Amino acid sequence: PKTALDLQVRGSVGTFSAGRPGEASVQVRYIQTHVGLTEGGGHADRLLDHLTPVREVFNLQELTFEQLMQRDINDARVSTELIPYLLSQGRGGLVKLFPPIIVVVLPLDSHDRPSNYYPTVQTLTEELQGHPFQVIRSGQVGKEVFEFRQLLQGDEPQAHDYAELQLNTNRSALAIVDGQHRAMALLALH
């Protein structure tokens, strides 16, 4: 079957463990990439097209007051501080640096709401362009949510710049969980 993966993100891979003290931890894989404001419709444009603030992904009635305050976006700050900073051409020139924007890939149910779980996740080894890759895939081919590829050396996945995350934008949401103001400024200019 033909793949349903329609968004590709390349970058550096890393891992960390998350969990409460005394409980089992969960290994979290991440990919660090970059985007720029360019014309031409490349992968950065497609990635920006799919970034979504948390307030647009979750049902606001299901969030606590603290969660709502943490996720509330001050649109005035975005338009009066961050966008002018990005557009300024002072001594710093055209290069602008922001701290990272953290995005979580959430599986969606048939009503485009966050699902409680990813479809079955499996780890495989596949050869791509003559090199072995570890492939972590959620869902059956043709109905995937994501596929994460990492180059193998021997049996060990390598932590370097050859990592790739592919997403099915019809079955996942890219929810901005940190850096929403920075992301909203980028999205406004995009």
Q: For residue range 163-180, what is the model confidence (pLDDT) as tens digits?
A: 899 999 999 999 888 777
Is a pLDDT exceeding 60 seen at residue 95? yes
Residue 175 · residue 106 · CB < 8 Å: yes
User: For 35-60, what is the mean pLDDT?
Assistant: 73
Q: Which residues are CB-contacts of 59 (< 8 A; sequence separation ≥ 6)? A: 113
Q: Counting beta carbons within 10 angstroms of the beta carbon of residue 90, is it exposed (0 to 12), middle (13 to 18) or buried (19 or more)?
A: exposed
Q: How far apart are CA 163 and CA 142, in angstroms?
A: 21
Percent of the chain with pLDDT over 90: 25
The pLDDT tens digits of the residues spanning 98-149 come to 778 888 899 999 888 889 899 999 999 998 888 899 999 999 999 999 999 9
Half-sphere exposure of 152 (CA within 13 A, CB side): 19
The more confident residue out of 45 and 59 is 45
Does pTM top 0.75 for this prediction?
yes
Q: Are strands 7-18 and 163-167 parallel, antiparallel or unpaired?
A: antiparallel
pLDDT at 64 over 70: no
What pLDDT does residue 140 have?
A: 93
